[in-house]
Amino acid sequence: MMDQAERLRTIAKEQNPQPVNGARIITVTSGKGGVGKSNVAINLALQFRKIGKSVIILDADFGLANIEVMFGVIPKYNLSDLIFKGKELKDIITAGPDNVGFISGGSGIAKMVNLNNDQIKSMVYKLNELGKYADIIIVDTGAGISNSVLEFVSASPEVLLVTTEEPTSITDSYALLKALTMFPGYVKDETKIRVIANKVSSIDAGKNLFDKLSAVVGRFLKIDLELVGIIPYDDNISKAVMKQKPISLSAPDSTAAKSFENIAKVLDEGTTAVFNDKVGIARFFARILFRRKK
């Protein structure tokens, strides 16, 4: 008899042989909370919009609703409505500022552990259509090294690791990468990991932060990291959070906003995503469901 894991893999393979329309998937993650990960996801999305890309953020920090709070937009529907209430994918994509779309995980996501075969098939099929709605899909994971975080990171061809100068942030970033190397499904050559040094005291401090992390990761984990951007500490960010208006819109000429702009340009001009068997957004959920059902 086919077990649950095999059922999920079969469903994912049948429903999602490859990403629809080749949408580029970028996963933003961090080893600990409070480092500005969701801020990075939101502001990069807005900067991608400025250069003409259509973007959808998938809030994969299930139950916390960070994206909607920071956007100041309350979604009518979330991911659980796609699964349990018969909504279509287009119904659960909420328009944020500058027409950045986002999908809220919603607190109801906990019920995913009880999905039956028909519900799994329906969800995987619908999520496979996500590439029709955007050039770039930004996945904002939870923080830390939970299985669901590692599923998203290991499934993504492009990962942005957000870290700060705090010793705990550096330590937790290393812990996340160490856990990733031991996680089933992770293939080093198929996952490009880039670092964003956030809320640093200076550009030099950001470079030193990356050099320390890169050296220890390269030596002990054999992972080659790339520094994609440095975002100096900027009071305008906390003000933007309080106003629920991202800094790229509330203070577009600020140091932080310009840093986000530079990162988006580097990612847009210098990178072509490599699409392979594990890229599809629907496969992310098939794998997460498998982990939750074990």
**Number of neighbours of residue 272 by Cβ within 10 angstroms:** 6
Of 152, 54, 157, nearest to 102 (Cα)? 54
Per-residue model confidence (pLDDT) at position 272: 41
Give the pLDDT score at 63: 60
Task: Give the dihedral sign, CA 170/176/182/185.
Answer: negative
pLDDT tens track for 173-232: 999 999 999 998 788 988 999 999 999 999 999 999 999 999 999 999 999 999 999 999
| Most confidently modeled range among 52-66, 87-101, 265-279 | 87-101
Locate the DSSP E strands across the chain. 24-30, 55-60, 94-95, 101-103, 136-143, 158-163, 192-200, 226-232
Range 53-67 average pLDDT: 83
- Average pLDDT, stretch 55-77? 84
In this prediction, residue 289 carries a pLDDT of 59
CB–CB of 243/250 below 8 Å?
A: yes
Q: What is the 3-state secondary structure (H, E, C) of 108-128?
A: HHHHHHHCCHHHHHHHHHHHH
Confidence of residue 112 (pLDDT cuts 50, 70, 90): low
Considering 15-24, 117-126, 246-255, the range whose residues carry the highest mean pLDDT is: 246-255
**pLDDT tier at 273 (50, 70, 90 boundaries)?**
very low
Q: Which residue has the tokens 């049948």?
A: 14
Residue 7 CA from chain centroid, whole number: 26
Q: What share of the chain is helix, strand, coil (3-state, %, to 5)?
A: 55, 15, 30
Q: Give 2-34 pLDDT, tens digit per residue.
A: 444 455 445 444 544 444 456 888 999 999 888
Strand order through the sheet with 136-143: 94-95, 101-103, 55-60, 136-143, 24-30, 158-163, 192-200, 226-232
pLDDT of 64 over the 80 cut:
no
> Which position has the token pair 């994509």?
93
Is residue 155 a contact partner of residue 283, using CB atoms and an 8 Å limit? yes
Predicted confidence at residue 277, as pLDDT, reads 46
Residue that the structure tokens 């999905």 belong to: 115
What average pLDDT does the structure give for the chain? 83
- Where does the pLDDT of residue 123 fall: very low under 50, low under 70, confident under 90, or very high at 90 and above? confident
